[in-house]
Amino acid sequence: MDNKKERIVLSAIEMFREKGIEKTKISDIVKGAGIAQGTFYLYFSSKLAVMPSIAEVMVERMLDSIKEETENAKDINKLMRSIVEAVFRLTEADRDIFALMYAGLAATEYMTEWESIYADYYKWMAQQLEVAKEAGAIDVSLDSEETAILLIGLIESAAEQTFLYSPKGQGKAEEKKEQVVQFALGALGCRNTSNI
Amino acid sequence: MDNKKERIVLSAIEMFREKGIEKTKISDIVKGAGIAQGTFYLYFSSKLAVMPSIAEVMVERMLDSIKEETENAKDINKLMRSIVEAVFRLTEADRDIFALMYAGLAATEYMTEWESIYADYYKWMAQQLEVAKEAGAIDVSLDSEETAILLIGLIESAAEQTFLYSPKGQGKAEEKKEQVVQFALGALGCRNTSNI
Amino acid sequence: MDNKKERIVLSAIEMFREKGIEKTKISDIVKGAGIAQGTFYLYFSSKLAVMPSIAEVMVERMLDSIKEETENAKDINKLMRSIVEAVFRLTEADRDIFALMYAGLAATEYMTEWESIYADYYKWMAQQLEVAKEAGAIDVSLDSEETAILLIGLIESAAEQTFLYSPKGQGKAEEKKEQVVQFALGALGCRNTSNI
Amino acid sequence: MDNKKERIVLSAIEMFREKGIEKTKISDIVKGAGIAQGTFYLYFSSKLAVMPSIAEVMVERMLDSIKEETENAKDINKLMRSIVEAVFRLTEADRDIFALMYAGLAATEYMTEWESIYADYYKWMAQQLEVAKEAGAIDVSLDSEETAILLIGLIESAAEQTFLYSPKGQGKAEEKKEQVVQFALGALGCRNTSNI
DNA sequence: CATGAATGAGCTTTCATTCAT
DNA sequence: AATGAATGAAAGCTCATTCAT
């Protein structure tokens, strides 16, 4: 059943996180999934071919988490803070998986699948910006779609820089988050409102 | 001689770019470098251990190229445009190498070397912001160091999104660049000046 | 139904011819036969176990073709020419199948089934020789049975040498055939009659 | 060294003979050759790629043996007897190897290498026929080259039929040999001389 | 009788690493 | 320092075979 495919994906996430991509063997994945070696090949052609499925799961988790976090954020200021909060939190928690997602997708021909994987995420963010525009909170001349993409890229790169690439940056996470929020609000044309 | 080490790095860039990281074998690298199999191990302990050296070369190229491009940029507006221009151009030209750099570093324990590799790049950008502050062109309350990091992350993620992850995004590169410039200037607190 | 068995045999001929014995998988055969993987085992115990059935089909085709070709051959001279003609023609057309028959049978314990598969063929040839003897056309001291076997072996080996093993021998087929006919007639003790 | 290649070929002959082609694993071959698994692939790309080398060895052995056997055969009659004797003897002794040679070569793309492998054998036989012609022992109108090929094919097919394909034919080997000799001499146009 | 998803033993093949030269 | 033939551990992958449906 498709049950099997899902079990492979979840096991792969688990294993990649535990041992890294290079050191994870297909035999590890199938062991974790509780299926036979050959069964793996009925669903995926190689270890890296699992990556898009993993990314899908991760981005979905990310978006769910952000939606939850921003449930009570009524103004753009709070919204942005909540988003940054969620992204930083998840990047820290799953830093290894995010790293391997970038690695896995980048290392392969699957790279251009990114966009479709992020589609929902981008769309949601664009909708938030639309709402903010209607509320007169941000610059109405911004292109919501494109700005959404830039915002997400900005926040993710900051989170990655903090948790993935910086040996000691994690202590400064709070400052970093504040910086990103300010930077983002400025870019959205509502710096003043953000001064508290 | 150190000549040999350099030849290994250049050959590795070439091979990784041609065949991807996974499929590049040490035998390919040494063949390209014109040295013997065993010699590789006198300089690097593994395939991925070459990554930091590759990244160094690439970031250096990137910074050199940006410096050249921004030579005549006298105000923050032009400066930002020039930087975006340079980053987009290089990302497009060397998109495969950048992808593999992220992949290669992310896949390994070398990830935290990123920061030191980017150090000069960050420093240069911070200096530019200082200059802009002194000229009264941007918000003086910004932390130059941190803002530099965010700016670079923002621009790179936009370029990557355009050239690496988006199957057809390349046609919209000009629009994308303009968006990033506006976004960045807004974040720096000088949106109005950027209106042409 | 036995329909299924036949479809397996025909599909196996097709597949072996297309991809060779080694590279033909049971999955290929069943795909070609339009039946399920498991069904194969209801009729044959393995890939090579299909060989005798294939050989039967092929030798039957061969004998039918020879009979047709020799229908109007009234003297030993014409008969021999017609046989050589038919064997060469079929070997050329089905060279790949003959090769794989030898291979398939030789590679297994089924090798000694050859003889029973060839039985009708040998018998028919022996009868022809008997007729020729009665007509005083060939040496009456020959053992028809044994000579039949030798003749068939001779002609087949010549045809194989021409079409299977010789990269460029095919251009010389006409000469070859003439050589074989002369050789055979000589062996049968009727060289002079064959001079035209 | 080339020593290694030779050891692989000899071990392959040994193993194929013992266990058959299908059941012989590359690990068996390398074990027999006393080399490492990987070393095999420095010399041959697959199990079947060894076949031409095996065939070379076998045909060489065959020719050597025939030469030895025919050393004292002064007339065509004795010569033919000696050749048949040698071919039958070797086919019986090495029946399994001959079977696998046909199987192995036939099963692959190496089939057309047969001709070059047999070249020396054909040449030697043609020379013998030339000598017989000069001695007036056989029909001078025969094409030595082509007749040599037919003769070898005839004798081999008879020997194979006797030892490879016939379950109980081995008891009749002596008769078979006599039949072949008579058949061959007849074909060469010297039946009368052969009547003893 | 027929199916075909699942199996997993065991093969082929790779390729990083070594070390005598 | 440099070599590259040889290694062999270990991985990928196949595919004949089974068996619940």
Quick one: average pLDDT of D110-117? 74
- Please report where in the chains the tokens 């021998």 appear, as a residue: C169
State, as a whole number of angstroms, the distance between the CA of B177 and the C1' of F12. Answer: 44
Residue D16 belongs to a domain with what CATH number? 1.10.10.60
Higher-pLDDT residue of D15 and D196 is: D15
pLDDT the model gives residue C109: 62
pLDDT the model gives residue A95: 75
Same domain, B65 and B11: no
3-state secondary structure of A190: coil
Higher-pLDDT residue of D64 and A196 is: D64
The answer to whether the CB atoms of D112 and C165 lie below 8 A apart is: yes
d(CA A98, CA A55): 8
Same domain, D54 and D29: no
pLDDT over 90 (residue A130): yes
- pLDDT digits (tens), chain B, 196 positions: 578 999 999 999 999 888 878 789 999 999 999 999 999 999 999 988 898 898 888 889 899 999 999 999 989 999 999 999 999 999 888 877 777 776 666 656 666 677 788 899 999 999 999 999 999 999 999 999 999 999 999 999 999 888 877 767 678 899 999 999 999 999 999 865 444 4
Higher-pLDDT residue of B190 and C77 is: C77
% of chain C at pLDDT higher than 70? 88
Same domain, A72 and A40: no
Same domain, C26 and C89: no
Interchain contact D26–C (C-beta under 8 A):
no
- Please report where in the chains the tokens 């033909």 appear, as a residue: C24
Same domain, D29 and D68: no
Average pLDDT over chain A, rounded to whole?
87
Highest mean pLDDT among A133-147, B162-176, C47-61: A133-147
Interchain contact A183–B (C-beta under 8 A):
yes
pLDDT over 50 (residue D133): yes
Q: Which residues of A27-65 are buried (b: 16+ CB within 10 A; e: fewer)?
A: ebbbebbebeeeebeebbeebbebbbbbbbbbbeebbee
pLDDT per position as a tens digit, C133-188: 999 999 999 999 999 999 999 999 999 888 877 767 678 899 999 999 999 999 99
Average pLDDT over chain C, rounded to whole?
87
pLDDT the model gives residue A188: 95
pLDDT over 70 (residue C105): no
Same domain, D112 and D149: yes
Strand E within 7 A of B19 CB: no
pLDDT the model gives residue D99: 72
d(CA D183, CA C182): 13
3-state secondary structure of A14: helix
pLDDT per position as a tens digit, A28-65: 999 999 999 999 999 999 888 898 898 899 899 999 99
State, as a whole number of angstroms, the distance between the CA of A22 and the C1' of E6. Answer: 27
Q: Are C67 and C125 in contact (CB under 8 A)?
A: no
Same domain, B31 and B73: no
The answer to whether the CB atoms of C139 and D114 lie below 8 A apart is: no
User: In chain C, whose CA is at the least distance from the CA of D175?
Assistant: C146
pLDDT the model gives residue B190: 83
d(CA D87, CA D92): 8
The answer to whether the CB atoms of C106 and D103 lie below 8 A apart is: yes
Quick one: average pLDDT of C78-94? 92
Same domain, A55 and A143: yes
pLDDT the model gives residue B152: 95
Residue B113 belongs to a domain with what CATH number? 1.10.357.10
Q: How far apart, in Å, are the Cα atoms of C97 and each of C29, C55, C91, D160?
A: 15, 9, 9, 19
Quick one: average pLDDT of A172-195? 84
Place A186 in a pLDDT band, splitting at 50, 70 and 90. very high
DSSP C120-187: HHHHHHHHHHHHHHHTT-S-TTS-HHHHHHHHHHHHHHHHHHHHTS-SSGGGGHHHHHHHHHHHHHHH
- CA distance between the termini of chain D: 54
Minimal CA separation from D31 to chain C, in Å:
22
Higher-pLDDT residue of A111 and C28 is: C28
The answer to whether the CB atoms of C22 and D154 lie below 8 A apart is: no
Interchain contact A187–B (C-beta under 8 A):
yes
pLDDT the model gives residue B164: 77
pLDDT per position as a tens digit, D23-38: 889 999 999 999 999 9
Q: Which of D57, D48, D44 is nearest to D111 (CA)?
A: D48
Helix (H) or strand (E) holding C102: helix C95-106
- Name the A residues in 151-180 with CB < 8 Å from any B CB: 153-154, 156-158, 160-161, 164-167, 169, 175-176, 179-180
- Split into its structural domains, chain D has a count of 2
pLDDT the model gives residue C132: 94
Same domain, A27 and A67: no
Same domain, B30 and B70: no
C-beta neighbour count of B106 within 10 angstroms: 26
- CA distance between the termini of chain A: 54
Token digits of residue B124: 């240069």
d(CA B24, CA B31): 11
A108: which chain B residues are within 8 Å (Cβ-Cβ)? 20, 22
The answer to whether the CB atoms of B146 and A175 lie below 8 A apart is: yes
Interchain contact B102–A (C-beta under 8 A):
yes
A36: left (phi over 0), alpha (psi -120 to 50) or beta: beta
User: In chain A, whose CA is at the least distance from the CA of B153?
Assistant: A157
pLDDT the model gives residue D84: 97
d(CA B111, CA B113): 5
Taking CB atoms within 8 Å and a gap of at least 24, the contacts of B17-22 are: B17/B96, B17/B97, B17/B100, B20/A107, B20/A108, B20/B100, B21/A107, B21/B47, B21/B48, B21/B100, B21/B103, B21/B104, B21/B107, B22/A48, B22/A107, B22/A108
Domain of C30 in residue numbering reads as 2-45
3-state secondary structure of D4: helix
d(CA C21, CA D106): 10
Same domain, C80 and C101: yes
Question: What DSSP state is assigned to residue B48?
Answer: G
Q: Which nucleotide is nearest to D25 (CA to C1')?
A: E11
User: How distant is the alpha carbon of residue A60 from its chain centre?
Assistant: 8
% of chain D at pLDDT higher than 70? 88
Average pLDDT over chain D, rounded to whole?
87
d(CA A127, CA A144): 8
Same domain, D143 and D176: yes
